[in-house]
Structure 1
Amino acid sequence: MTQKKYYLPAGLTFSVLLISFFIFNNSAPDPRDAYEQELIAMYAQIPEAIIVESEGDNRPDRPDLAAIQNYFNIMDPALGHVPVERLRTAWEQTRTMQENSIRESNALYWQTEGSNMGGRTRALMYDPNELSGNKVWAGAVTGGLWYNNDITDDQSAWVPVDDFLSNLSVSCIVSDPNNSQVFYAGTGEAETARVIYRESSGVGMGILKSSDGGASWDYLLSTESFKYVTDIQIRDEDGISVIYAGVASGIYKGVTHQSEPANGLFRSVDGGQNWEQVLPLIPGLDETYAVSDIKIQGDGRIYVGSMETPELEGGATIFYSDEGTTGTWTTYEDVKTLIENQTTENIPGRVILAIAPSDTAVVYALFAVGYENGFVYYKGRYIYRTNDNGQTWQQVNLPDYDYATLAWHALIGGVDPIDADHLYVGGLDVWSTMNGGASWAHQSDWALMYYGGGDDYVHADQHVQLYKDGSVDEMLFGSDGGVFYTANASSSNPVFEEKNKNFSTLQFYTCAISPVAGDNRYIGGLQDNGTLFFQGNPLDINDMIDGGDGAGCFWDVDEPEIFITSVYYNRYTVFLNGN
């Protein structure tokens, strides 16, 4: 048999070899293999002791490993991290689904069990459109926007605005003085966005706007990179409603969330469509000041208090301006210098301002001062007052040396509308002075939470104090326990009332459900509201079975009469049959 041989031309042979070389040497890496290697590398960072401890038949619960697994589940393999920048897109898709009623086809439904307790509340506003003057708006840092049609009525319940807002971490709310139908709400809680002994913060998504008195809310796309909006004020400038927004950055879950284009005081003359940052740079740095508080005095002068950046720069500084534009600000930093010259408590913190409506020359400033002790803690160490429109400042007495031991997140003040010497302040509790700070009265007692409340009860950690327009007696207080009210603020001994009916804004860290089929009971650990035991009725302070910041909780599946609660510093309580 004759065999025929065929020969490829030399040029063609070379081309085939060259193509084969590039195919086998330049093929793209398998994304799945790359992702697997990345997961293996991340898993290798977990201490071996933790992995061994979590194996075996009698292994303990491991919420830390569960959190790691959850991180892996929602991490984008292409990015190597959780894509939080897609939250707005996800919200838009959710909103579309809601509007198209697609979610109605889902057999899984949720219902609120209800609560007559509130969570941390930083935003309060009396509705300027309500003739009675008793309608109030509130913003909770993890519970969104709410309104109460009659804050004076104990039976008037809070109503949630919309569980599908673009962001439910509301830090401030304000109405337009030229158009009472226009509201703005800022999102993100900068005060707790720091490395501290607990994580209970919320990253924001800029500013929400309503043009119909709060009936509906739109998202200002121009502010989507404002991670934390600390305050919003509006000034009438020749008939134009000019918006001033305080913007800061913060740390959450070990990641710095930087506001863009910068921290600072942002000014808008077109209803929030465009913004200009107007504060000066921090001396020696290519970075603007972070804003803690904004106040507009009756004469139109704007006062701004700063807070420290995540790098601990730029705190304890006051600015004022009559124009509100770039290059017009006067800076006061004597207290900042005083703090920096101390031996231990030497980190300038945030400034809270309180203006006197009856005297435009008077403004109070409360200063937080930081010190390192494992974490950077802050206390309220100075209160100053100006009697000449901010030109000079004088120190006044403190209510108590430790009146504000958590000043990094709990510090506030409010001045009587007709008496510049009558000032309320808050740290842990509520204090007041009738003589401009010469002497003080301790007005509230947070510890009454453990004894059913009472006339002196306001929950711990004060965040907002607001007089009703035109009244020296009606006043609202926002705290870690929601909303409180007094009808006799001008008294030397005001009576406080809790106003949290259906204000379901509690911050649950953990929850454990009864393992018994059909048993609708649960226990939950909460931020600053202890551990609560739900047994069928709306939660209130009498359902608290453990105190402080409630942490992990456990309900025994094998012996359901046993459950365990915990508090910080690894303190545990074992309950048998609920006792």
Structure 2
Amino acid sequence: MRSVLTLLIALLTLPVTAQTAEEISKALSLRAIGPAVMGGRIADIAVHPDKPRTWYIAVGSGNVWKTTNAGVTFTPIFDDKPSYSIGDVAVDPSNPDVVWVGTGENVSGRHVAWGDGVYRSRNGGKTWEHMGLEASEHIGKILIDPRNSNRIFVAAEGPLWSAGGDRGLYRSDDGGATWDAVLTIDENTGVTDVEFHPENPDVLYAATYERRRHVWSLLAGGPNSGIHKSTDGGTTWRRITAGLPTADIGKIGLAVTPADPDRVFATLEGESSTRGFHISYDQGESFERRSSYTSGGTGPHYYQELEANPKDPDTVYQMDVWLHVTRDGGHTFEELETGWGKHSDNHAMWIDPHDANHMLVGTDGGLYETFDEGQTFRHFPNLPISQFYKVAVNNRAPFYDVLGGAQDLGTLMGPSRTLNREGVRNRDWYVPLGADGQGVAFDPENDEIAYMATQQGNWYRHNKITEEVIDIQPQAAPGEPAERWNWDAPISISPHSNRVYVASQRLWASDDQGHSWTALSGDLTRDQNRYELEMMGRVWSVDALYHNGAMSKYSTITGMSESPVAAGVIYVGTDDGLIQVTGDGGENWSEAAPLPGVDPQAFINDVETSAHAADGVFALADVHKKGDFTPYLFYSGDRGRSWRSIRGDLGDGVIAWMIRQDQEQENLLFLAGENGLYFSANFGENWHRVPGAPTIAFRDVVIQDRDDDVVGATFGRGFYVLDDYAPLRAAGSVPEGGVLPVRDAHWYIPSVPMQAPGKPTLGDDDFTTPNPDHGALITYYLPEAPQTMRQERHAAEKEIRQQAGDVPFPGWDRIGEEMSEASPRVLMAIRDASGRTVRWLDLPNRAGVHRTSWDMRLPAPDPVNLTVPDFVTPWSGSAQGPLVAPGRYAAQLVVLSRDGARALGEPAEFDLRPVYPGDHATTARLHEQARDIVRRIDMTNAELGQLGDRIRHMRAAAELAPAATPALFAQVDALQGALFNLRQELSGDRVRGSYSEFTPPSIRGRAGRAAGSLFDTTQPPTMTQREGLHLAATQFADFAGRYQAFVQTVQAAEEALEAAGAPWTPGRGGN
């Protein structure tokens, strides 16, 4: 039986399979860099009824957040769910630990995402259950009966881009286990709002909403939109017509107030003669039109929410571009906001039931709070929920900038990382251009010049030095048709020069930074009339409730790319399904072959030329605005004459937004997808989601070639950076284990802007995101974790038990060997160019691919102390050694086990590159000398501490020595005074210091003061520091003789104790 156990142990220790790109990716992680300075679109707000500082924030495109401290900090609580688009959040009034979330935003914007039904949490958002209505896609409202937590109503708007789905008002009487459709109209009409009578929840009012959106148009109303009422708890319904328009109606907002429970307020979108604010005094039986006011901007489909004042029945608030209020029951409306202290585009409001002047307001620019009914507002700049369309990076040294166009927040620019320890802060971001930010690009030859746009192709050039922008939009010549710019019009920079391309329905080029433009094509689109295209199965009147002012222009160019391999080979894609190509810089154009199996009117999200093949091009098509959520990814190797799918195993629902190809390995691709950032290491056969980000749409992705970083723009959670993805190229390169390629590191010391690392004085609401680990990032592969003998035996015994076998006794010798065996170690050796080991890094004993970092320092000289203090002040920091000199270094993986030391793989070399100039080699040498002086002094100081402990034990032992004499007592007691004097000489005057008096510099004080500051600078020592170190070294050399003599005196006293028969004391061995 023992031979069976031995064989199993051998089999279980065979190496694991070599690393794959997927395994490598698990060691990497996306790093969020914000920003949070301007927030993002808030869809709904719910407040705990008994804990007014606990809020739930539903973000239209950015998941759900919770605060328990009135917004000092927020925590995302819905990040791992399939949907990131949120329409509504509701707290059960009878059991506030129960929270309901409706996914799928309740607006009909061009950029809106979809959801997968409703979710419930029973523990305040810690965990969630999916509760059905998966095909609703957009939830307008959730109501919970205050008398019965099991009765829930869900207003489901239904799919925006197609018919059918879960559409209408749904009721559950069993806590969401089952749902009944209690109010349905037809396959195109859902329910957008629902309200209880404030005193009788059996009376309900519901607003139906007929709408459809496609790429070309938004039809935002129809004959089936209206107001309905139920008096039996939602079982039966009837449409209210008295006082309401007979013409087509668009989106309706409803509100009721406990100040007058029988009143019902409604704001209706419709024709100019019938739309506006309506009021009912008889529980919704009849209405009267009070004014023509309705929300504006891009249209009521984007707003329309009403909130009634709980104390004043004549005061109602209307969500709109600017927050509006009526104080006379709807006869007149005025803007509530009095200044520019708050963002526009309001979507949600919570009114404090105990203080109607206290409100929370959700806008496109985040969350606000007011205590004076909107006279002043407080913003919460700690929600990183900005929605970015596009991203660009430059080559600024040492760290590149990130530039992006954001939904309703303008164009934002900030650093990818910083030279300080705080990371990327809100105050590091800059907003050079307002409105809706869109396409962005940097001038490849000048990091200070950037190109950016507001919606629909309003192009500008920005100069970072002067902080000025200038309009550079190309203009049609006299007699030419108007330019049709997409809402998110594209921009591209030629890889062969600094030529700038932008596109309307034709392609434009500028060779002088936008001073002048040349049209390189005619109309490259289908040039379709949107009013001749079907909506909801038919063509509607041109005077129907279209919201085309809220649309992008149609038949526009949406993407373009010039080949980096073949100059003049340019592709464009359009929103009406075409891909066009020129091989001569625009002189001649030809239409590429249709994408196989794709709707001819597909929106071409991206055309991206191959980084390796002159005739290669990628195409990403999007048909989700026709209700088709299939990801369409294609590649052509013959300039678009034929296409093959590279979707691979990418699942449905992952809309493919943008694709990029690695510059070195043609099989390595990165994809910005609807629910995350993906990569493929085999040209699209398999796709893997990059870890580190929540479920969120990545709308754009770029590669920063110099640093081997990937930067993604999300539509609701800001920017993410994948630092140093180069290890993905090295899959399979170290099958026996070792270090993957290491990127050169920037040599500098992070600054401390605010007295101490972190945020010592700014409060917990100050938003920052971390830099990557300082120093060299090192990715390594450990094929198998070294096991102890006991671990190997337990694994073998487990196999035997699983086969129902008898587990043999291992033998006492084996057990003894197991008990005496030291645990294995996994280490990283860092060596300089001469081969000298300058640092050992202790690594976790876990098989697989991992990433660690080296801070570019020698080990700390401090004595080893295994005691962990209960509290460390923020400014204390951790023990550290001096920086090594810049230059060439190498990292190698080493495993220590009972078989000895074993190096895995070859050393991976990398450079430490100084950020600032200087004679760093000389400085590093002096710093290392200072470290050695401090190390020897601190070692002696620690030994004096140990001697003090020995002496205390010796004094106690003398009393227990049978043959002790008065002379022995005197001999031992004399050691105390001698030790005190030595400590005084080494560490300073403790007598004066105990009375808070200044004391002359000590040996240890001189060395510590000089070396301590040197370890936090790349500068050479000052003359004072050099003199202090020299004096400390000289004095310590003289002190060392007296110290050794004292050690001998202690040893003599210990021998006398031994002779007197004293019991054991620390440091004194027995014979």
Q: TM-score, normalised by structure 2?
A: 0.38
Return the letter of the residue paired with 2:413.
Answer: F
SS at match of 2:251: strand
Task: Call closer, same or farther: CA 1:178–1:107 in 2, change over 3 Å.
Answer: same
Deviation at 1:503, TM superposition (A): 0.8
Task: Please give the alpha-carbon distance, in whole angstroms, between the structure 2 residues aligned to 1:169 and 1:178.
Answer: 27
1:269 shift after superposition: 0.9
Instruction: Indicate if the aligned counterparts of 2:295 and 2:319 stay in contact, CA closer than 8 A.
Output: no
1:468 offset after TM fit, Å? 1.8
Superposition pairs of residues 205-354 of structure 1, within 5 angstroms: 205-220=116-131, 222-236=132-146, 239=148, 241-251=150-160, 256-258=161-163, 260=165, 262-281=166-185, 286-287=186-187, 289-299=189-199, 300=201, 301-310=203-212, 312-326=221-235, 328-333=236-241, 337-338=245-246, 340=247, 347-354=248-255
Any residues of structure 2 matched to 1:69-88 within 5 Å, and which? Answer: none
**Alpha carbons of structure 1 residues 141 and 275: separation in structure 2 relative to 1, 3 Å:** same
The equivalent residue for 2:355 is 471
Amino acid corresponding to residue 157 of structure 1 in structure 2: T
Which of 94, 112, 120 is equivalent to 1:178? 94
CA shift at 1:143, angstroms? Answer: 0.6
Q: Sort the Cα spacing of 1:460 and 1:540 in 2 relative to 1 into closer, same or farther, 3 A.
A: farther
Amino acid at match of 2:291: N
Over residues 315-360 of structure 1, what are the superposed CA-to-partner deviations in whole Å (9 max), with x where a residue is unaligned?
541111122334x21211456644x2xxxxxx42111011111211
Q: Which amino acid aligns with 1:302?
A: L
Q: Secondary structure at the match of 2:260?
A: coil
The one-letter amino acid paired with 2:455 is Y
The one-character-per-residue Cα deviations of 1:407-446 (angstroms, maximum 9, x if unpaired) are 111222211111101112121111222221233332226x
The secondary structure found in structure 1 opposite 2:107 is: helix
Find the partner of 1:439 among 332, 337, 346: 332
CA distance in 2, matches of 1:174, 1:442: 28
- Paired residue secondary structure (1:554): strand
Pairwise CA distance, 1:233? 0.5
1:69-124 residue CA offsets vs partner (Å, 9 max, x unmatched): xxxxxxxxxxxxxxxxxxxxxxxxxxxxxxxxx99942233234341321111110
* DSSP-derived class of the 2:355 partner: coil
1:485 matches 2:369: yes
- The question of 1:141 aligning with 2:60 is answered yes
Rounded to whole Å, the distance in 2 between the matches of 1:264 and 1:322 is: 18
Match of 2:582 in 1: none
CA distance in structure 1 between the aligned counterparts of 2:295 and 2:205, rounded to whole angstroms:
26
Q: What SS does structure 1 have at the residue aligned with 2:435? A: coil
| Deviation sequence 1:130-184 (CA, Å, 0-9, x none) | 2xx1221101111100122333x6xx13222242222111110111223221110
1:431-477 residue CA offsets vs partner (Å, 9 max, x unmatched): 222221233332226xx6xxxx43xxx32222112212322221111
Task: Give the paired residue count.
Answer: 429
Show CA shifts across 1:30-73 (max 9, x none). Answer: xxxxxxxxxxxxxxxxxxxxxxxxxxxxxxxxxxxxxxxxxxxx
Conserved? CA contact 2:163–2:188, under 8 Å: no
Q: Distance in 1 between matches of 2:321 and 2:454?
A: 19
Q: Is the 8 A contact 2:408 2:436 kept in 1?
A: yes
Could you tell me whether the CA contact under 8 Å between 1:316 and 1:368 is conserved in 2? Answer: no
Counterparts of 2:60 and 2:393, CA distance in 1: 25
Deviation at 1:541, TM superposition (A): 12
Q: Name which of 488, 498, 513 aligns with 2:393.
A: 513
Note the C-alpha offset of 1:290: 0.8
Asked if the contact 1:293/1:306 (under 8 Å) is kept, the reply is: yes
Structure 2 letter corresponding to 1:159: T
For each residue in 1:370-410, what CA deviation from the matched residue of structure 2 results, as whole angstroms up to 9, or x when unmatched? 79xxxxxxx994100011111111111355x7756521112
The answer on 1:157 being equivalent to 2:73 is yes
* 8 Å CA contact 2:44, 2:349 repeated in 1: no
Q: Tell me how far apart the structure 2 counterparts of residues 549 and 556 of structure 1 sit (CA, whole Å).
A: 21
Whole-angstrom CA distance in 2 between matches of 1:479 and 1:335: 32
- 1:49 maps to what in 2? none
Q: Partners of 1:324 and 1:287 in 2: how far apart? A: 24
Deviations 1:232-253 (A, max 9, x none): 111145x4531100112344xx
Match of 2:412 among 516, 519, 532: 532
Q: Does 1:388 align with 2:296?
A: no
What corresponds to 1:366 in structure 2? 267
Q: Secondary structure at the match of 2:45?
A: strand
> Residues 46-125 of structure 1: matches in 2 within 5 Å?
105-125=26-46
Partner SS for 1:408: helix
Q: How far apart in 2 are the matches of 1:484 and 1:426?
A: 14
Determine helix, strand or coil for the equivalent of 1:117.
coil
Quick one: structure 1 residues 503 and 354, their matched pair in 2 at CA, closer, same or farther if it must change by over 3 Å? same
CA contact (8 A) 2:318 2:325 kept: yes
Q: CA RMSD in A?
A: 2.8
Change (3 A) 1:225 1:575: same
User: For the structure 1 residues 226 and 577, does the alpha-carbon distance in structure 2 shift closer, same or farther, using more than 3 Å as the test?
Assistant: same
Distance 1:435 1:540, change over 3 A: farther
Instruction: Quickly say closer, same or farther: Cα 1:315–1:486, change in 2 above 3 A.
Output: farther
Task: Tell me if structure 2 keeps the 8 A contact 1:404–1:426.
Answer: no
**C-alpha separation in 2, matches of 1:189 and 1:297:** 25
Q: Give the 3 Å change call, closer, same or farther, for CA 403–127 of structure 1 in structure 2.
A: same
Q: Which residue identity lines up with residue 547 of structure 1 in the other structure? A: G
- How many angstroms apart in 2 are the aligned matches of 1:391 and 1:334? 7
Q: 1:103, 1:393 → 2: CA distance? A: 64
Query: How has the CA–CA distance of structure 1 residues 541 and 143 changed in structure 2, closer, same or farther, with 3 Å as cutoff?
Result: farther
2:431 is the alignment partner of 1:544: yes
Letter in 2 for 1:573: Y
Q: Tell me the TM-score normalised to structure 1 length.
A: 0.69
Does structure 2 conserve the Cα–Cα contact (< 8 Å) formed by 1:178 and 1:241? no
Query: Residue 887 of structure 2 corresponds to which residue in structure 1?
Result: none
Q: Decide whether the 8 Å contact of 2:37 with 2:381 is kept in 1.
A: yes
The answer to whether structure 1 residue 201 and structure 2 residue 201 are counterparts is no
| Mapped contact 2:169–2:184 kept (Cα < 8 A) | no
145 and 523 in structure 1: CA distance in 2 versus 1, 3 angstrom threshold: same
Question: Is this contact kept in 1: 2:392–2:402, CA < 8 A?
Answer: yes
Check whether the contact 2:198–2:261 (CA below 8 A) recurs between aligned residues. Answer: yes
Separation (CA, whole Å) in 2 of partners of 1:315 and 1:171 = 22
8 Å contact kept, 1:307–1:350: yes
Matches of 2:118 and 2:95, distance apart in 1: 18
Shift of residue 522 of structure 1?
Answer: 1.3
Give the secondary structure class of the aligned counterpart of 1:125: strand
Q: Which consecutive aligned stretches of 4+ in structure 1 deviate over 6 angstroms post-superposition?
A: none
Number of the residue aligned with 1:561: 448
- Separation (CA, whole Å) in 2 of partners of 1:519 and 1:541: 13
CA contact (8 A) 2:95 2:149 kept: no
Identity of aligned residues (%): 23
Residue 509 of structure 1: how far off its partner (Å)? 0.5
